[in-house]
Each structure stands twice: as structure tokens, then as C-alpha cells.
Amino acid sequence: MKKYFAEFFGTFWLVFGGCGSAVLAAGIPELGIGYAGVSLAFGLTVLTMAYAVGHISGGHFNPAVSIGLLVGGRFNAKDLVPYIVAQVIGAIAAGAVLYTIASGIPTFDATAGFASNGYGEHSPHGYSLMAALLIEVVLTAFFLIIIMGATDRRAPAGFAPIAIGLGLTLIHLISIPVTNTSVNPARSTGVALFQGSWAIEQLWLFWAAPIVGAIIGAVAYRFIADEK
């Protein structure tokens, strides 16, 4: 059970740290960390938790990553469902804590977005469904290539969390304007449930696209790395 708890805590930290930076800090004019700060926050959550509990569970913190690693031959199928359950519960728990904290000021309104992912009129800059679908697939595919490459036995030992954390930072720098960046179905679910309306209706995309992208990335890495 320890590895499942590790996935719970790791995903909790990812959602609380990443989405928390967006909800609590990004919009304050005198403090405003902006897109770059939120991007860095997401990267730091993965980097820190990969070092903290990665040696216990592998440090997935993301259902799409777990599925991709399964396809890539790096993960046992019997653990897939428990990992995804632990990740989603961790994300929802983080969303609940963040919602409670954010509700501490009278101007808070979760329906305004609550760091949720969206497309069309709910994209931060109005990007279409097709644009959102494509960017989530492409970026998740490259995220899997980064993860599998950094953790390859031939890669320098001990540096994988840095590459993966910086990779996630770059992914957010690219795609926050398009979808608010998912590449992680658990992250999307954890806040969508508290946004409560359009984020739930559009949640399907932020499960489907990252999973497809993760599978593509895993297959691509196995091909280029000649992994059988």
C-alpha cells in the first residue's frame, strides 16, 4: 500500500502546489507570479515529489503517465487501476483543501475557473477544441519521451526528477494560454469538480488527449531507444 499512498501524496502536492499558485497567487497585481510562475510551480511540484517519493512508487502522479509507462514496458498492469485511483483521490483532496482556503475571502468564485482546463470560450485565450486536443496530445507525448529517456538505465543516474520537472515547466510555458495546461487527467479532475459546471462538461478532453499522447510518446520512445 505504501506506493499507493506515495502516489496519493505526490498527486496532492502537484495539484495543490500548481493549481494553488494559479488560484491564490497568480492574479494578485502586486505579487502576480503570472504564467511563468505558475509554470515553474508545476515543475517544482513534480521535481520535489519525484525526489521525495519517487523511489517508493516511481513518481507517476498522473494517470496518463501510468498508462504510458505500461505501454512502454516500464510498469506492471496489476498496479494500473490502484495507481489511477490513488492519483485521482489525491487530486480531489488537494482541490478540496485549495477550495476551502480560497473561500477564505468573500470575492472568491470557483465558477470563474478555479484553475480548470478548458477550450473554446473557456480556453484562457479562446483556442478551439481542435487546438486544445492537438496541444494536449503532442505535449503529453513529449512528456512521456522525457520521462522514459530520463529514467532509462543508460541515462545519468540521479538527474531524472530535474529533467522531468523542467520538462513539465516548459510544457506549461507553452500551453497555459491554450488550455490552462492539463497533460494530467487527475490534475484536471481535482479542480473541475469544484468549478462545478463547464469544467466538468469539458473534462472528457483532458482525459482522452493526455492518454492518447502518453501512448504515442511511449511507443515513440521504445522505437527510438530500441527497447523491446
For residue 24 the three cell numbers come to: 491564490
What would the pLDDT profile of 191-213 be if each residue is shown by its tens digit?
999 999 999 999 999 999 999 99
Exposure of 121 by Cβ count < 10 A (0-12 exposed, 13-18 middle, 19+ buried)? exposed
75 has a pLDDT exceeding 90: yes
Could you name the CATH architecture of 1-225? Up-down Bundle (1.20)
Residue pointed to by grid coordinates 491564490: 24
Q: How many C-beta neighbours within 10 Å does residue 103 have? A: 12
CB 41 within 8 A of CB 18: yes
Q: What confidence tier does 228 reach under pLDDT thresholds 50, 70, 90?
A: low
At residue 27, the pLDDT reads 73
pTM of the predicted model as reported, rounded to 2 decimal places: 0.95
Rounded CA-CA distance 38/168 in Å is 11
Q: Are 21 and 44 in contact (CB under 8 A)?
A: no
Give the pLDDT confidence of 116-148 residue by residue, as tens digits.
Answer: 999 999 999 999 999 999 999 999 999 999 999
